[in-house]
Each structure stands twice: as structure tokens, then as C-alpha cells.
Amino acid sequence: MSNQKVDFSEYESEGQASKLIQKSKDSPFVPIGIAGFLGVAALGAYNYKNRGKVTTSVYLMQLRVAAQGTVVGALCLGLIYSMTNRYLLKKD
């Protein structure tokens, strides 16, 4: 066994904010999807009082589908954008 000292100061753990910033740089449509999800959730919470004769469980299921659709749509747009840049425009 060696008696070498290991300097752990180089291996700082990165926080959640820095991870989100790095993910935003790698794929910019992820934060757009998160913002869309939060927007749909806020709109659904605001419109909850005026839902009419729809029961709460049905309203929440419809809200969940709308929020998931927003996120999946944003990710699909990001995929189309990156594939267009990589294969059609030949940008790497």
C-alpha cells in the first residue's frame, strides 16, 4: 500500500443549480420543457375553481396529460432541432 496523499479539494461536489446550468448548455430544450410543465401546472391550479361539473380526479388527470404533453413536445422539438443540425446541416 502506498502512503500517497490524495487531495480531495479538486473533487468538489457540484450543486443542483450548476447541474441544471450544465444540462441547459447541453440541451436547451430541457429547461423549456420544465418551464412549460410549470406553466401548465400553474394554469391548472389557477383554473381549478372554474372547472365546471368535472370531478377533481378527472380534472387532475387531464391536467397531468397536458403537462406531460408539454414536456414531451418540448423534448421532441429539441430532438428534431439537434438531428437537423447534425444530419442535414452537418454541424457538430
Mean pLDDT over the full length of the chain:
84
pTM, full prediction: 0.67
Average pLDDT over residues 4-14: 59
pLDDT given at position 72: 93
Nearest to 29 by CA among 91, 92, 71, 75: 75
